[in-house]
Chains A and B, each alone.
Chain A
Amino acid sequence: MAKKLMKGSEAIGEAAVQAGCKLFFGYPITPQNEIPEYMSHRLPQVGGTFVQAESEVAASNMIYGAAGSGERVFTSSSSPGISLMQEAISYIAGAELPVVLVNIMRAGPGLGGILPSQADYFQATKGGGHGDYRLLVLAPWSVQEAADLVQDAFDLADYYRNPVMVLGDGLIGQMMEPCEFKEGRVPCKPLPPKTWAATGCKGDRPTNIINSLYLDAKELEDHNQKLVAKYEAMKKDEVRFAEFNTGEKADLLIVAYGTVARVCVTAIEDLKAEGIAVSMVRPITLFPYPYEKVKEEAQKAKAVLVVELSTGQMIEDVRLAVEGRRPVHFYGRQGGMLISPEEIVAKAKSILAEAPAPPLKRETKREARNG
């Protein structure tokens, strides 16, 4: 298929169709309405089914049901709607069902606004619902990458039997860019047969029960440990990131994800023209997080700058990665305000103006006193 100018939301919808998903259950919410609208006319063309649910609560439970029957299914929403889906997401994770969720983030808290934001990072990566679970979270920075990651999301969900969230900001949903769907795409993971699905108990097969209820404490602990093993496998095998301008040394490392990273690239080029070397790590998987890569690049720089459309959420993972070895600074805008390259350039310069020399081993107060 040739490249086509597509709106992000439509590319996301088409990507799901290309991945063989024939079921969409959703509820309208700005700024992602183009996804359900696209699915409502596209799915009937491929023999699929679109249902406009009465609420996000119902939509998310519909995908829970559909996934239980072993079919590929997805839904999309935006921040307040994703909050309403947390109940079902917890059940989906607990029952180990493969579903794909798209969150086109808007600014909060509460009703907030309808403009782009990255303020749902905690909710997406740390478990927005109850209980110990994780979503595999993918963060695209372009329309093409959104289309690619949505297709991968279905394979990852099936492989791990785990909900996968594609986390985009309002810009990803609304902007138009060239997008291509390549013929003969190969799944990014092996796809095991869904022998666990509730499809009718034929012949001697024992009943398949889709469930997250374990009243026996030991059984539930074992189930929790089984989930942990799955999350550990994701940490080992699924970490994805992109790097920019990384090399031997840098004055500053920027860590940013999604469309914010594109603004950072412009800022990095502007700083380069002024003789300031800035590198960037762009996490593509937010869970599992590229801790090792961030740590490695941070150690080559004097300081780290995290840029987000929030009051500072991913920065906590960056601090975990850096382990106090370098100062970690933050620049963010909220409420739907966007970040300009000039703001990042100014912030980078102010950090470097005050940045101390790379830390040497210094006497602690206790050593000084004892000495």
Chain B
Amino acid sequence: MAETVFCRPEALAKVHTHYCPGCTHGVIHRIVAEVVDELGVRERTIGIAPVGCSVLAYDYFTTDFQEASHGRAPAVATGIKRARPDLVVFSYQGDGDLASIGMGEIIHCANRGEKITVIFVNNAIYGMTGGQMAPTTLQGQVATTCPMGRDVALAGYPIRISELLSTLRTPAFIARASVHTPLMAVNAKAMIRRAFEYQIANACFSLVEVLSTCPTNWGIPPVEAAAWLEANMIPYYPLGIFKVPEKEDRAAKPMGA
């Protein structure tokens, strides 16, 4: 008797996506869907779609969804989770959305310790609007609004979100992964699963930054894009777990303690 060893996750919709060839959004979508299925929470999961390439994420998952305005997904997620703590809430945001226009929302959401999960897709560029400089665009990287390459004297250095959020005292799970090889994707899935598990256990805020390719706006073919990510992004955006809720921070004791 034939045994099914690989199939579409129930949480992933049976549709074609609009993503470009070589873009890793599809891989990340699938990982999130697999985790939602494995944890058995599809029927109580609410996704928050961002503004950016993944604006139509609600078409690709079979969970309830709410569309956020640009950068506000962590605030929207806060509203849902506080209204219905029994739901599993995740936001899916790109680097322009989360690290630029939504910087205030993500920092305060993490600092409040909202019991949500953020999937932060970092491809070092604005995708949907056509390849403009992102807060995560690498030094010297060419984009349509920095045609000579990112000049750190004018634009500052690319922001490392995982490191930044890890400085907060509030317990959290913060990790950075990549999906540009199958092995990396397996590791990314483990991180994302752990992030959801922390939420389901009502333990802490969780965010997994996933490095992603953008062959279209980087202007290179998909295979080269994966190599470019490995050669250029990983040295600046190291992979690993940056913060776990179990670890004691070196911080002042609360007042009265």
Nearest opposing residue in chain B for A203, CB measure: B43
Nearest opposing residue in chain A for B49, CB measure: A211
A-B contacts counted at CB < 8 A amount to 132
Chain A CB within 8 A of B108 CB: yes
Find chain A residues with CB under 8 A from B72 CB: 57-58, 61, 64, 87-88
Interface size class of A (residues with CB under 8 A): 35 or more
Q: How far is the CA of A211 from the CA of B69 in the complex (A)?
A: 10
Q: Are A210 and B69 in contact (CB under 8 A)?
A: no
Chain B CB within 8 A of A73 CB: yes
Chain A CB within 8 A of B180 CB: no
How many residues of B are in contact with the other chain, CB < 8 A?
35
> B residues 42-90 with Cβ under 8 Å of A?
42-46, 48-49, 55-56, 58, 61-69, 72, 75-80, 82-84, 87
Nearest opposing residue in chain A for B45, CB measure: A200
Most chain B beta-carbon neighbours within 10 Å: one of A58, A66, A71: A58
Find chain A residues with CB under 8 A from B68 CB: 61, 64-65
Q: Which of A29-37, A47-55, A169-177, A184-192 contacts B (4 or more CB under 8 A)?
A: A47-55
Q: Are A65 and B42 in contact (CB under 8 A)?
A: no
Q: How far is the CA of A71 from the CA of B48 in the complex (A)?
A: 17
Q: Are A200 and B43 in contact (CB under 8 A)?
A: yes
Q: How far is the CA of A212 from the CA of B65 in the complex (A)?
A: 12
Find chain B residues with CB under 8 A from A58 CB: 72, 75, 78, 104-105, 108
Q: Are B78 and A209 in contact (CB under 8 A)?
A: no
Nearest opposing residue in chain A for B79, CB measure: A65
Q: Are A67 and B69 in contact (CB under 8 A)?
A: no
Q: How far is the CA of A66 from the CA of B104 in the complex (A)?
A: 19
Q: Are A198 and B80 in contact (CB under 8 A)?
A: yes
Interface string of A190-215 (1 = CB under 8 A from B): 00000000111111000111111100
Q: Are B84 and A69 in contact (CB under 8 A)?
A: yes
Chain B CB within 8 A of A133 CB: no
Q: Are A202 and B43 in contact (CB under 8 A)?
A: yes
Find chain B residues with CB under 8 A from A208 CB: 64-65
Chain B CB within 8 A of A63 CB: yes
Chain B CB within 8 A of A252 CB: no
Chain B CB within 8 A of A289 CB: no
Chain B CB within 8 A of A263 CB: no
Q: Are A213 and B55 in contact (CB under 8 A)?
A: yes
Find chain B residues with CB under 8 A from A55 CB: 104
Q: How far is the CA of A49 from the CA of B76 in the complex (A)?
A: 15
Q: Are B82 and A61 in contact (CB under 8 A)?
A: no
Find chain A residues with CB under 8 A from B84 CB: 69, 71, 199
Q: Are B75 and A61 in contact (CB under 8 A)?
A: yes
Q: Are B78 and A51 in contact (CB under 8 A)?
A: yes
Q: Are A200 and B87 in contact (CB under 8 A)?
A: yes
How many Å from the CB of A96 to the closest CB on chain B? 13
Find chain A residues with CB under 8 A from B63 CB: 200-201, 207
Q: Which of B64, B79, B107 contacts A199 (CB 8 A)?
A: B64
How many Å from the CB of B229 to the closest CB on chain A? 29
Q: How far is the CA of A95 from the CA of B49 in the complex (A)?
A: 14
**Contacts known (A53-B108, A58-B108); A200 close to B82, Cβ less than 8 A:** no
Q: Are A54 and B79 in contact (CB under 8 A)?
A: no
Nearest opposing residue in chain B for A25, CB measure: B79
Q: Are B62 and A212 in contact (CB under 8 A)?
A: no
Nearest opposing residue in chain B for A99, CB measure: B79
**Contacts known (A62-B82, A69-B84, A201-B42); A209 close to B75, Cβ less than 8 A:** no
Q: How far is the CA of A202 from the CA of B87 in the complex (A)?
A: 12
Find chain A residues with CB under 8 A from B46 CB: 69, 198-200
Find chain B residues with CB under 8 A from A283 CB: none
Most chain B beta-carbon neighbours within 10 Å: one of A73, A200, A202: A200
Most chain B beta-carbon neighbours within 10 Å: one of A59, A71, A202, A210: A210
Find chain B residues with CB under 8 A from A213 CB: 55-56, 67
Q: How far is the CA of A62 from the CA of B81 in the complex (A)?
A: 10
Find chain A residues with CB under 8 A from B56 CB: 213
Chain B CB within 8 A of A23 CB: yes
Nearest opposing residue in chain A for B67, CB measure: A211
Most chain B beta-carbon neighbours within 10 Å: one of A25, A51, A64: A64
Nearest opposing residue in chain B for A50, CB measure: B82
Q: How far is the CA of A51 from the CA of B78 in the complex (A)?
A: 9
Find chain B residues with CB under 8 A from A64 CB: 66, 68, 72, 75-76, 79
Q: Are B104 and A54 in contact (CB under 8 A)?
A: yes
Q: Are A62 and B76 in contact (CB under 8 A)?
A: yes
Find chain A residues with CB under 8 A from B58 CB: 207, 209, 211
Q: How far is the CA of A199 from the CA of B80 in the complex (A)?
A: 9
Which 6 pairs between the two chains have the least Cβ-Cβ distance? A65-B79, A61-B75, A65-B76, A62-B79, A66-B79, A198-B64
